[in-house]
Structure 1
Amino acid sequence: MLKYLGLDRPFLLLAKKLLFSVVRTHVMSDGLQSLGLSPDKPVVYVLQRRFLSNILVLDKEVSAAGLASPLAELTHQGVRESRAFFFTTRAERWFGRSSNVGYSPRLARLVQAARNRADFDVQLVPVNILWGRTPDKESSIWKLIFSESWAPRGSLLQLFTILLHGRQTLVRFGQPISLKELVTDTEDEERALRKIARVFRVHFRQQREMAIGPDLSHRRTQVEGLLETESVRAAISALAAEQGGGASAMLKAEEKARHYAWEIAADYSYPVVRVFHRFLTWVWTRLYDGVELSNFETVTGVAPDHEIVYVPCHRSHIDYLLLSYIVYQQGLMIPHIAAGANLNLPIVGGILRRGGAFFLRRSFKGNPLYGAVFNEYLHMVIARGNPIEYFVEGGRSRTGRLLQPRPGMLAMTVQSFLRDSNRPIVFIPVYIGYEKLFEGRSYVGELMGKPKQKESLFSLLMSVRELKKNFGKVHVNFGEPIKLAEVLGQSHPEWRNEPPLEESRPAWFTQGIRELGQRIADGLNSAAVANPVNLVSLALLATPRHAMDEDQLVAQLDGYRRLLSAVPYAARSQLTAMDGRAMVDHCEKLRLIQRHPHALGDVMHFYPEDAVLCSYMRNNVLHCVALPGLIACLFSRNASLSREQLANLTRTVYPFLRAELYLRWQPDELEAALDSYLAALVEMGWLSSSPGREGIFHAPNLNSDEYAQLALLGQAVRPALVRYFISLSVLTQQGSGVVSTDELEGLCHLLAQRLSLLREFNAPEFFDRAIFRTFITTLKQAGLAAEDEAGKLTFNGAVRSAAAESRYVLSPDVRQSVLHLTRLDRPTVEQALARLASKS
């Protein structure tokens, strides 16, 4: 390496000019300002690889932050050093061999001063500089040589790396470490130096793994390794035995296993990732007004010592492209993504596979060999430290609500962890919120009864037309990390002492998977972002004709902002910074709402074809207003209620709302949440309390603006309450032990469908069968209903009591309509169910 320490300033200026003509640096953190450096102690920077280019990059970023240059002299408490940095490795020769070994002389002198002087200390700041990023791949010698990797490199290779990858130079500053604290309690200077070397060796290894991932072998090696694992060999032998045994059957079974492995395995390619990055940068610019990112420090905080599993909500095919793009942009290794086999299209499948996708079939049932190969592949990916990503909902939500978490991938991940729990696993919920949906039109068609459209290369090419449209902003918010070991410990404290899992899963394992799915769903909802489109949709869809006076709409939106600011749904939830007027203007520019000029004030309303689509956007954040919406619904039907009445009615309804919308409050947290919302509604003037009668609350005057605003808030949850009343009315009308779960679900679906035609409920999701299925399941879990030996639903008096309490929340005409529809005799019921079955 050049002995730059004695070089004069003109040479350094020339070197900088030449270097930064081809180099562009990206600081992957909030920079030096966020480190909380003490002004009383000097800073000494720690670099790993000993190159002049690294020093020049460091000097540029430090100077940009307004701090003293690492090339400047360091003077503190009588100690003087010519420079304020050192390397953890010694000089490299041209072809990567270390010319000598040992510790930095500057570090040795600083350690000696820190040990011998009580008043001497410096802040050590590790700086990781990566010139291009790629995992090691045996299939490409050029990537191995010229990209950032685990192999040592000499000055010649560094020169080629700068020329090829200089514009992809990542810089990350680590947290400052007190030298005094590191050397305290060490017996001698040699031990102190070894300790410091170990600390920074671990730090730089973790940072490198975060950015470029662990070493990867060639895909063919991966496949052949999978076929040699114990579980896959057992599955191959079992299949061969079923086919008659013998060498020929064994060869056919092995070939089938090999075919499955090739079908599943990713084939990560750094050049493809780079092309993806360039292409997606162009796509986001064409499609969106920007991508707003929140709480990414969540990921960087756990990435060094955890295996990360990203679990985003699934609203669009854009989701996995967007998340990988963000992770790459933030300087971390992109995840391996579990993609449905339906996306393994000609050409497209190969490109996705090289971008980190691995493919799985929707069901492994009846194919133990495929299940064994996939399980082993997933375990291999996790064991090697690759971050992974999958959607716990299974498929894309067609209604905007969070779907029931599916246990498949969660169970396989937990099984892998139980086999090898040395590296802890952490799940990161990722909320992705759109202002307009790329697949919006197809979703509306499916909700209206059209068959689901299959993915194809043709449909992908046709979607290019959408690039001409403006889809607003995208909001990506990273939720609270969920540590798998903690979840297992809560459901089964002795999980570490359990024997290896057999084919039959014990009750504690199933319970742990259920609890993990619930925690992830809660985490996704807790990271929700209430954007302008969500709130405008929430307000307009609450009106009969989906239209409002502009000033009234602005006031309603400002009210929602005040409520969600006063009582945020969760600590990580986000709220738009726009006021009501700005939200209306924003949605008008997106062509989501239109203005009808009028002499008495303009009227804002949806475009006729967009009302159903906007119900999707409303449902993204419906859980954020569910509890205050329930309170508002109660007061829109009752002039006064006591705190005790409110609590009793809320406790009756809450389990069903929580199951449907994945509300975050546990039953013992409900009272405190109720009090918080009551206080906020009173502060806003949407409710009032009696000065002389503590615990009594009143609705506003019927003719006031406040009452109108309260009623619109209540309308957000009223359709859900109507569905509950339909279910309870059908069940009680038919009688205990008469209908099965499937029959009740089908009847409720038909009746809700008919009621939506008669009373103009504003979305096909009102009669979604899945929602009724969730309600019936919750009835069973709450002990209000059960199945007898014949599979028929039985219930107790509590069901009739719950149905009777609908008078507190539903208007008489709605209750009468539901009761009229549910008075069906058994022949009519059987005929309706038969017609429904024939359509299915």
Structure 2
Amino acid sequence: MIGARKLAEWFLPLARRLLYLWVRSSVFPEKMQDLCLAPGKPVCYVLQDRHLSNLLVLIEESRRAGLPRAEAPLAIGGQHPARSFFFVNRDRSLAGRARDQNDHSPLLAHLIGATIADPELDVQLLPVLILWGRSPGKQDSIIKALFSETWRPPGAWRQLLAIVLHGRQVLVRYNSPISLRDLLHGGLDQEQAQRKLSRVLRVHFRRQRQMAIGPDLSHRHTQVGAVLAGERVRAAMASEVATHGITPDQARARAAGFAREIASDYSHGAVRALELFLTWLWKRLYDGIETHNFEALTRVAPGHEIVYVPCHRSHVDYLLLSYLIRRKGLTPPHIAAGANLNLPIVGALLRRCGAFFLRRSFRGEPLYAAVFDEYLHLVLARGFPLEYFIEGGRSRSGRMLTPKAGILAMTVHSFIREHSRPLVFVPVYIGYEKLLEGRSYLAELAGKAKRRESLWGILRTIRSLKRVFGRVHVCVAEPLPLAAFLDAQHPGWRAGSDDCPAPWSRALVRRVAGEIAKRINEASVLNPVNLIALALLATPRHTADESSLHRLIEHYQALFAEAPYASASIACTLDAPQIVAYTQRLGFVERFSDPLGELIRVTEKQAPLLAYFRNNVLHLFALPAVIACLLSHNRRLGSARMAQAVRGIYVLLRAELFLRWPEAELAVASDAVIVVLVARGLLLRGDPSGSLAAPEPISQEFAELHLLGESIRPLLERYFLTLALLEQHGSGQLTRQALEDSCHHLGRRLELLYEFNSPEFAEKLAFSGFISTLIEAEFLCEDEGGLLHFDHRLMTPLADAELLLSAEARQAIRRMAGGDRSGGGRGAGLPPVKPPPS
């Protein structure tokens, strides 16, 4: 006791004077009379966190305000405790971990005991909230925002940083006094009173802090316990005990480790710091960020659980979308990120900005799967917005990838399990004019291993900050209310909520994924790079005279405007000359003079990169390209044969490109395209029966019609290659893996022999996706031994594909697939396909 008094006599005054050489504070209320302290009753101050700096601020500000001295002994009857303050929270280490296991302050226990013993005694507890710095949302410095007040109790080092960074902006808020006597009514004993008073004070400080810095969105510290208490997690822990022979405590420790590995640690300060950094970064990288249809988001956000599902083209995607959502005044989402991004420093920052991490595979870890499933359900049930990519990874080809069912299935099952709050998927299209990862994508498509993410790799990208990356377009697609979709697809879904995942839910999840992908594609934005890629990559040497290039671009713009793919799609506002000039500035094309006129060509090594941007919007022009292919290769087709061929190939295109028209609407969509092509002189009406004809082969219009069809040629050739291999080997002769390998090897050989301008042509995933499409459409089926079977129905798409390709392409593919009767033999130019095991 004597030591404490001596400390108060010399150390606290000295430390207080030194601190206030730097500290400047704002005190509320401005008039202390507004506190309505009862005269004659002792006052005991209550602070939230145990820090010497907080105590020194309290001592100084109480002196200035003329309030009872916090460092003075507290007079309670005949007793005089050495001080008039206590802390609610326990003492913490330098890193912020709790050290003192005693939940209650000794002074608090003494006050409660004295008040219970003396019915006439009352003490006024005066809570004082001390915040170092303004609300994170008001910070204009990245460092200050990063180290501003958070819900995480700070350690000594963090508190020291707070003093240095925010010492000129300390907020001190005295709150209305709490009567200890009033809290003890009802005959509570000492232990009950301590628990009640501690709870009241924590709730009080929590509300005050929420008013100042916003709600506590951190899961890592507040929800790990809730995850472990989940029924499925408890069952998984019991299974771990039985399977691996470990103790229940060990199983719980493993589950807790998984939960901490997964969970985000949301911080308002970190989000604000990232917002300031990204504001600087976007200005450095891009000419601008264009947003489209965000009003659809503001319409559905109130009262709904929002799940953002953007396409995945770049690591920039999740940073960009969260940034825009926050700038629009909405709560940034919690983002599912691959465990490969949980890097030192970077992972911690992403986690504090709302990222939660998941492994690429849950196989062999049922406990991990149960913990992740429960964590996701908890996030959804508590109404936090969520964001993930249903493609699983970034698209290296530029097209929408086949969705992965994993986290989407968990979301659907969570909603079926508990659907008190309506859930809406918000598909988002993100379109770039240049990619930070462009070169690495090309290397991976060429067969190089994917480069592992690292802190050093991130630091190396700083070199890109001086480059020009054009504009970015972000378009919100039509939201998808999950309950309404389930009602239409499976009306009895609510009755099956106790049996989740239900047997019928797997097919339903695939339909949800397909619908989301289709809506993302509907919201595509046509930019100048897309258009120049469509036009120039179709030419044999990636070169065109300027007037012809302008005319081809105008054809695409006319098709987009007069036979629109979808009402949500966004047109390019530049005209053809402006588009050429714009892409020239970005370094994609160059101009050179020829005696007969100006020529425009793709700059060296840019063709593979441009193929990526062509693929971004290939679905917008897939139907016009198919029609152009049919007429440029066949010169004349009757209306019935035309409709049959379009329908046959559309079945395959629709599943891979996520095209929007059901088969019943295809004829109307085709007619709209034909009207535009006829009006522009690219097609001619034939006899009264409705046949169509191409212009004369020597005409400019015929050349332009041919070029329109060239954009879809690599995709059609991949189809024809796969179907030709199936036809050659026969039904029941190949496994799926053998077919994928054969397609990949043959595609590689074709790339070496012919110029495809499509670096993803031989990508194994592309063939795998197409084979999945054939299985989904029931053109192929797998038996128990894994062999692929098909019937005559598969030959119809094959015959239709032949109509769309040149004779040279057909012959080359058939010869290399082993179908050339004149020589070469079965499987020429192709590694032998091993027979499947019996």
TM range (shorter): 0.7 to 0.9
Shift in Å at residue 791 of structure 1?
Answer: 3.1
Q: Which moved more, 1:759-768 or 1:387-396?
A: 759-768
- Are the structure 2 counterparts of residues 553 and 213 from structure 1 closer, same or farther at C-alpha, using a change threshold of 3 Å? farther
Q: Which residue of 2 aligns with 1:287?
A: 285
Q: Which residue of 2 aligns with 1:28?
A: none
Shift in Å at residue 581 of structure 1?
Answer: 0.6
Letter in 1 for 2:226: G
Q: Which residue of 2 aligns with 1:507?
A: 503
Q: What per-residue deviation string (whole Å, max 9, x for no partner) do you get for residues 572-596 of structure 1? A: 1111100111000000001111112
Q: What per-residue deviation string (whole Å, max 9, x for no partner) do you get for residues 123-167 of structure 1? A: xxxxxxx9859999643699xxxxxxxxxxxxx98999xxxxxxx
| 1:225 maps to 2:226 | yes
Aligned residue for 1:574, secondary structure, equals coil
- Give the alignment of 1:698-709 within 5 angstroms: 698-709=693-704
State the alpha-carbon separation in 2 of the partners of residues 353 and 499 from structure 1: 32
Shift in Å at residue 538 of structure 1?
Answer: 0.9
CA-based RMSD of the aligned residues comes to 2.9
Shift in Å at residue 555 of structure 1?
Answer: 1.1
Aligned residue for 2:225, secondary structure, equals helix
State the alpha-carbon separation in 2 of the partners of residues 826 and 790 from structure 1: 24
Aligned residue for 1:221, secondary structure, equals coil
- Give the alignment of 1:604-753 within 5 angstroms: 604-690=600-686, 693-753=688-748
Q: Which moved more, 1:434-443 or 1:775-784?
A: 775-784
- Give the alignment of 1:106-125 within 5 angstroms: none
Q: Which moved more, 1:747-756 or 1:777-786?
A: 777-786
Q: What per-residue deviation string (whole Å, max 9, x for no partner) do you get for residues 375-418 of structure 1? A: 12111111121111000000000110111111111111112212
The structure with the larger Rg is 2
State the alpha-carbon separation in 1 of the partners of residues 332 and 808 from structure 2: 55
Instruction: Answer yes or no: is the 8 Å Cα contact 2:608–2:757 preserved in 1.
Output: yes
| 1:553 maps to 2:549 | yes
Instruction: Answer yes or no: is the 8 Å Cα contact 1:308–1:425 preserved in 2.
Output: yes
Letter in 2 for 1:344: N
Shift in Å at residue 663 of structure 1?
Answer: 0.8
1:772 to 767, 771, 775: 767
Instruction: Answer yes or no: is the 8 Å Cα contact 2:390–2:403 preserved in 1.
Output: yes
Q: What per-residue deviation string (whole Å, max 9, x for no partner) do you get for residues 66-85 of structure 1? A: xxxxxxxxxxxxxxxxxxxx
Q: What per-residue deviation string (whole Å, max 9, x for no partner) do you get for residues 281-337 of structure 1? A: 110001000000000001100000111000000000000000011001111110000
Instruction: Answer yes or no: is the 8 Å Cα contact 1:433–1:529 preserved in 2.
Output: yes
- Are the structure 2 counterparts of residues 136 and 410 from structure 1 closer, same or farther at C-alpha, using a change threshold of 3 Å? farther
Q: Which moved more, 1:604-613 or 1:306-315?
A: 604-613
Instruction: Answer yes or no: is the 8 Å Cα contact 1:214–1:385 preserved in 2.
Output: no
Shift in Å at residue 804 of structure 1?
Answer: 3.5
Q: What per-residue deviation string (whole Å, max 9, x for no partner) do you get for residues 510-542 of structure 1? A: 121011100110011000011000110111111
- Give the alignment of 1:414-425 within 5 angstroms: 414-425=412-423
Q: Which residue of 2 aligns with 1:528?
A: 524
1:584 to 580, 584, 590: 580
Letter in 2 for 1:352: L
Q: Which residue of 2 aligns with 1:76?
A: none
Q: Which residue of 2 aligns with 1:811?
A: 806
Aligned residue for 1:597, secondary structure, equals strand
Letter in 2 for 1:271: G
- Are the structure 2 counterparts of residues 217 and 814 from structure 1 closer, same or farther at C-alpha, using a change threshold of 3 Å? closer
Instruction: Answer yes or no: is the 8 Å Cα contact 2:542–2:602 preserved in 1.
Output: yes
Q: What per-residue deviation string (whole Å, max 9, x for no partner) do you get for residues 607-642 of structure 1? A: 222111110111000000000100000010122222
Letter in 2 for 1:728: L
- Give the alignment of 1:292-441 within 5 angstroms: 292-441=290-439
Shift in Å at residue 778 of structure 1?
Answer: 3.2
Aligned residue for 1:359, secondary structure, equals strand
Q: What per-residue deviation string (whole Å, max 9, x for no partner) do you get for residues 649-697 of structure 1? A: 011111111122111111111111111111111122211224x615222
- Are the structure 2 counterparts of residues 807 and 317 from structure 1 closer, same or farther at C-alpha, using a change threshold of 3 Å? closer
Instruction: Answer yes or no: is the 8 Å Cα contact 1:479–1:524 preserved in 2.
Output: yes
Aligned residue for 2:533, secondary structure, equals helix
Aligned residue for 1:603, secondary structure, equals strand
| 1:795 maps to 2:790 | yes
Shift in Å at residue 751 of structure 1?
Answer: 1.7
Letter in 2 for 1:747: S
Instruction: Answer yes or no: is the 8 Å Cα contact 1:700–1:706 preserved in 2.
Output: yes
| 1:139 maps to 2:152 | yes
Instruction: Answer yes or no: is the 8 Å Cα contact 1:137–1:218 preserved in 2.
Output: no
Q: Which residue of 2 aligns with 1:82?
A: none
Instruction: Answer yes or no: is the 8 Å Cα contact 1:655–1:778 preserved in 2.
Output: no
State the alpha-carbon separation in 2 of the partners of residues 608 and 567 from structure 1: 34
Q: Which runs of 5+ in 2 are unaligned?
A: 1-126, 129-135, 140-144, 156-169, 175-209, 820-824
Letter in 2 for 1:457: L
Instruction: Answer yes or no: is the 8 Å Cα contact 1:539–1:557 preserved in 2.
Output: yes
State the alpha-carbon separation in 1 of the partners of residues 666 and 636 from structure 2: 21
Aligned-residue identity in percent: 48
Shift in Å at residue 798 of structure 1?
Answer: 3.2
- TM-score, normalization by structure 2: 0.73
- Are the structure 2 counterparts of residues 420 and 293 from structure 1 closer, same or farther at C-alpha, using a change threshold of 3 Å? same
- Are the structure 2 counterparts of residues 372 and 736 from structure 1 closer, same or farther at C-alpha, using a change threshold of 3 Å? closer
Aligned residue for 1:530, secondary structure, equals coil
Shift in Å at residue 829 of structure 1?
Answer: 8.8
Letter in 1 for 2:222: T
Shift in Å at residue 558 of structure 1?
Answer: 1.3
Letter in 2 for 1:219: R
Letter in 1 for 2:707: L
1:487 to 475, 485, 507: 485
Q: Which residue of 2 aligns with 1:86?
A: none
Letter in 1 for 2:505: F
Instruction: Answer yes or no: is the 8 Å Cα contact 1:632–1:713 preserved in 2.
Output: yes
- Aligned residue pairs total 644
Shift in Å at residue 214 of structure 1?
Answer: 6.2
Q: Which residue of 2 aligns with 1:109?
A: none
Q: Which runs of 5+ in 1 are unaligned?
A: 1-94, 97-129, 143-155, 161-208, 836-840
- TM-score, normalization by structure 1: 0.73
- Are the structure 2 counterparts of residues 509 and 704 from structure 1 closer, same or farther at C-alpha, using a change threshold of 3 Å? same
- Give the alignment of 1:254-269 within 5 angstroms: 254-269=252-267
State the alpha-carbon separation in 2 of the partners of residues 459 and 619 from structure 1: 27
Letter in 1 for 2:629: C
